[in-house]
Amino acid sequence: MTNIKQDEYNVEEYLNKELLRFTTAGSVDDGKSTLIGRLLHDSKAIFQDQMDQLEVSSKLRGEEGINLALLTDGLRSEREQGITIDVAYRYFATPKRKFIIADTPGHEQYTRNMVTGASTADLAIILIDARAGVLIQSKRHGIISSLLGIPHVMVCVNKMDLVDFSEDIYNKIVKDFTEFAEKLNVYDITFIPISALDGDNVVDKSDKTPWYKGSTVLHHLENVVIASDKNMIDFRFPVQYVLRPNLNFRGFSGRIASGSIKPGEEIMALPSRKTSKIKEIVTFDGNLESARAGECVTLTLEDEIDISRGEMIVRKNNLPRIDNQFEATLCWMDDRKDMDPNTHYLVQHTTRIVQGYIRDLRYLLDINTLHRKEEAQTLSLNEIGRVVIETAMPLFVDPYKNNRETGSFVLIDPASNLTVAAGMIRYASSKTEKSKDDLMFKGSSLNIVTKNAIIPREKREERNGHKGYVVWMTGLVKAGKTTLAQELSKKLFEQNINVINLDGDSLRQGLCGDLGFSEKDRRENVRRVSQLAALLCDAGNVVICSMISPRKEMRDFARSLVDEDRFLEVFVSAPIEECIKRDGDNLYTRAQKGDIPNFTGVSADYDIPVNPEIKVETDKLSIDESTDSILKLLFQKIK
């Protein structure tokens, strides 16, 4: 690097420097690329071979000296036209900080490029030509910076040399932009008069602006406080990879999206809601005593929990929203097709990818005036609007203003695998506000409108002579659930009761035949059966469900789908020793040998019901005694 000796370059010192990401934006020929080139040149961050190439390129264009703008104009079409088309990234460092620059195009037709480059920025530099003043383009860049939640904005009034460094012109631009910015959510704006071509107030203070008492561009970049901008409260760890090099190690790898964590802290895995504590924070260079946002680590837990890629580890008492529907600001990026509400897209949120639809377009935002066009039917390339997104499975989200990592997402066309839009989550829609903390997902399929039943439940129950009811039998394998359910069904049928028996084993041969026995699959198994039981109950039937349903939250979910007085939880109780005696299929023996993983009572826990409507101890009561006790209580409920 120019003027830097090799022995002065300390790798460890460089790695420990704070990183500032900033983006530049401005109208055509406002000098964005020249400013970046000047920053790199005057901070001595350009390699000699780059300087040689710049000199050659400048001569080919018939220019005297070196055109610093060519440093970031990497595409041939950019160099020929003298404009920025694509996002150009450059990296440099000073003794105080590391920097990543995103030089974004200022043209309206490249709005998507600006959104891409600015999406991770800590600071935005907006260039304004001192001769032209605040243009519509300048306001548009301010609006996009506000939408993207960029916490710091630096307005560089460029080409001051062409207006004789006039203080009055500078003050007029400051006044105009400040009045406009009052409408935006931008609270830290710094104004600096510069000449990017000559370097005035870029790296060194200029004697041509004695009336300006502020800092230079580089000084502000080095000293602006960004540590407080990061969300260090809400711990979010999207799991990217499950690391299992041997039987003795199981770790969850990824990058901490926000917050911090230490060994010993209690966490919760989503969506399973299983809790544990952090055992170790593992890295290639050794274990850490703590880790924070932005660090890539592997977390190990004190308990064995089934966690997969796309799931999230959070603090137990600090949860994100768990939603399948939310409002978002969406920037359309597809130059082939407009937004289509009838097309399904893939929604990528952190490391999770799910199917989703654009449920509703609330309005299209005029990016130049902030006016809303509520009559808009679609979004085209580079247009921005407020939409409602609905996904087939819940996401673990935060509002974008609180957490840019878990508040952003992209839409992918499943046919071409191209990114078609980028979104920023604003808040959950009212439809999901009520159920945002549900332990199990209650969402409905997409684009479905609920219709009233043709035959009301009351009419069915009047004809049947009894109420619809759900009898939920839970207990260990071989506790006697299936036997009791069958006998109970028989006796109810004999009493002219419309009864339907949903047996867990039978359903796994059809409706739930695609599911295994992991924690996630068990939850899905119970979810499906619960929904089916609720539908049948609503049709006036007594529905008997014999399900292990080992988690309390599973049983609570089933209960929540029907009216409060239409659910009977039956705990079919038997000591595990008795269950093993009854096990003619040797399931317990195989589970103890490790042949059957996640077997309830052996390698998987069972939450014993605390307050069931009735407990039946099958090791003490006969089948008739057990069913009669259930029937006695049930008849009090349904008649």
pLDDT at 47 over 70: no
pLDDT (tens digit, 9 = 90+) per residue, 171-190? 999 999 998 888 787 778 99
CATH number for the domain harbouring residue 518: 3.40.50.300
- 121 and 207 in a single domain? The answer is yes
Q: pTM for this one?
A: 0.62
In a domain, 467, yes or no: yes
- Decide: helix, strand or coil at residue 278: strand
Query: Residue 397: CB partners within 8 Å, gap ≥ 6?
Result: 320, 321, 323, 326, 349, 406, 407, 425, 428
Determine the pLDDT at residue 482: 93
Residue located via tokens 């049930």: 634
- 415 and 472 in a single domain? The answer is no
- 417 and 544 in a single domain? The answer is no
- 160 and 254 in a single domain? The answer is no
From CA 100, how far away is CA 56, in angstroms rounded? Answer: 26
In a domain, 447, yes or no: no
pLDDT (tens digit, 9 = 90+) per residue, 377-432? 999 888 889 999 988 888 999 988 888 889 999 999 988 998 898 889 986 444 43
> Tell me, what DSSP letter sits at residue 1?
-
pLDDT (tens digit, 9 = 90+) per residue, 608-637? 998 899 999 999 999 999 999 999 999 998
In a domain, 399, yes or no: yes
> Tell me, what DSSP letter sits at residue 351?
T
563-568 CB contacts, 8 Å cutoff, 24+ apart: 565/637, 566/467, 566/468, 566/469, 566/470, 566/537, 566/637, 567/469, 567/470, 567/472, 568/469, 568/470, 568/471, 568/472, 568/613, 568/614, 568/630, 568/633, 568/634, 568/637
- 514 and 377 in a single domain? The answer is no
For the chain, percent of residues with pLDDT exceeding 90: 42
- 563 and 515 in a single domain? The answer is yes
- 565 and 601 in a single domain? The answer is yes
pLDDT (tens digit, 9 = 90+) per residue, 475-512? 999 999 999 999 999 999 999 999 999 998 888 888 88
- 152 and 287 in a single domain? The answer is no
- 424 and 496 in a single domain? The answer is no
By the 8 A CB rule, do 341 and 357 touch? yes
pLDDT at 82 over 50: no
pLDDT confidence band for 271 (50 / 70 / 90): confident
Q: What is the mean pLDDT of residues 279-299?
A: 93
Of residues 368 and 152, more confidence is placed in 152
Backbone torsions φ then ψ of 284, nearest 5 degrees:
-60, -30
- 30 and 170 in a single domain? The answer is yes
pLDDT (tens digit, 9 = 90+) per residue, 89-130? 778 888 888 888 877 665 555 466 667 666 678 898 999 999
- Mean pLDDT, the chain, rounded, equals 83
In a domain, 364, yes or no: yes
In a domain, 448, yes or no: no
In a domain, 445, yes or no: no
Range of the domain at 69: 6-229
In a domain, 181, yes or no: yes
- 596 and 461 in a single domain? The answer is yes
Backbone torsions φ then ψ of 379, nearest 5 degrees:
-120, 135
- 129 and 247 in a single domain? The answer is no
By the 8 A CB rule, do 480 and 574 touch? yes
In a domain, 66, yes or no: yes
Amino acid at 79: R
End residue of a domain, out of 195, 229, 263: 229
Domain count, the chain: 4
By the 8 A CB rule, do 544 and 517 touch? no
Of residues 87 and 370, more confidence is placed in 370
CATH number for the domain harbouring residue 411: 2.40.30.10
